[in-house]
Amino acid sequence: MQSRRIGDVQVSAIGLGGMPMSIEGRPDEDRSIRTIHAALDAGVTLIDTADAYHIGADEVGHNESLIARALASYGGDTSGVLVATKGGHLRPGDGSWTVNSSPDYLKQACEASLKRLGVDAIGLYQHHRPDPRVPYADAIGAIRDLLDAGKIRMAGISNANPQQIREAREILGGRLVSVQNQFSPAFRSSEPGLELCTELGIAFLPWSPLGGIQAAGSLGGAFAEVAERHGVSPQRVCLAWHLAKSPVSIPIPGASRPETITDSAAADTLELTADDLAVLP
């Protein structure tokens, strides 16, 4: 698979988003493990997770632990796989999502993620979502401290606007390597963030790149037309569209079936023509 850069690490141009394997509607563990192994077989070397990807309050870090088990049980070499996780988002167990970006909490969350992933330093640790009760500078300052302490190898942010991207980059002393924002054909409000990341050379990781679980299965219009022309799925066309948007774009489609991530991973070989791009949004 083609590679793209996150900080000083080369990763696959298409990553794997782990969330669907741990939240509501998740499959059994066997299928999830097979999905992660299928991603690795297809050349995926970026896996995105978070401690908040779980259902019950008693299973924080479900997805991190799942990924750790999948990597440990894989028959091939996983030394080149970058696992990116996040802290600062919480699920109290009633179906809601809350936030906590206090520096003490972020540092505790990182320590817990280290243990679940079974590593000495997290490859990429990202601030999950701004907390209106905590100054952004304080939250990113905690990420900087984790970086300085060697608890994490690289630092990123998620759900951030251009002003926050610039602020985080300054606080981290130029060491901000990634921004993970929602971005898809149906959700374009992060376009200014993508443009800024392109300008600064920071990896942009679109989450829900197909528009979410419901939209992913019904991509139509121009995507369906281009897909028919190339004999591939509309979803594969959509991911190729992301790659064509910017050299820093690394989409991380979620998956819970081996065949889904196998199809997604093939998007890097789909060369969209100028005529294709002209009809896509």
| Residues recognised as catalytic | 53
Q: Is 151 helix (H, G, I), strand (E, B) or coil?
A: coil
Whether the Cβ atoms of residue 12 and residue 78 lie closer than 8 Å to each other: no
- Whether the CA torsion 98, 124, 14, 49 is positive or negative: it is negative
Instruction: Read off the tokens for 63.
Output: 């997805």
CA dihedral 72, 74, 77, 81 (to 10 degrees): -70
Alpha-carbon gap, residue 230 to 223, rounded angstroms = 11
Q: Is 246 helix (H, G, I), strand (E, B) or coil?
A: coil
β-strand partners of 90: 98
SS (H, E, C) 179-235: EECECECCECCCHHHHHHHHHHCCEECCECCCCCHHHHCCCCCHHHHHHHHHCCCHH
The secondary structure of residue 77, as a DSSP letter, is: -
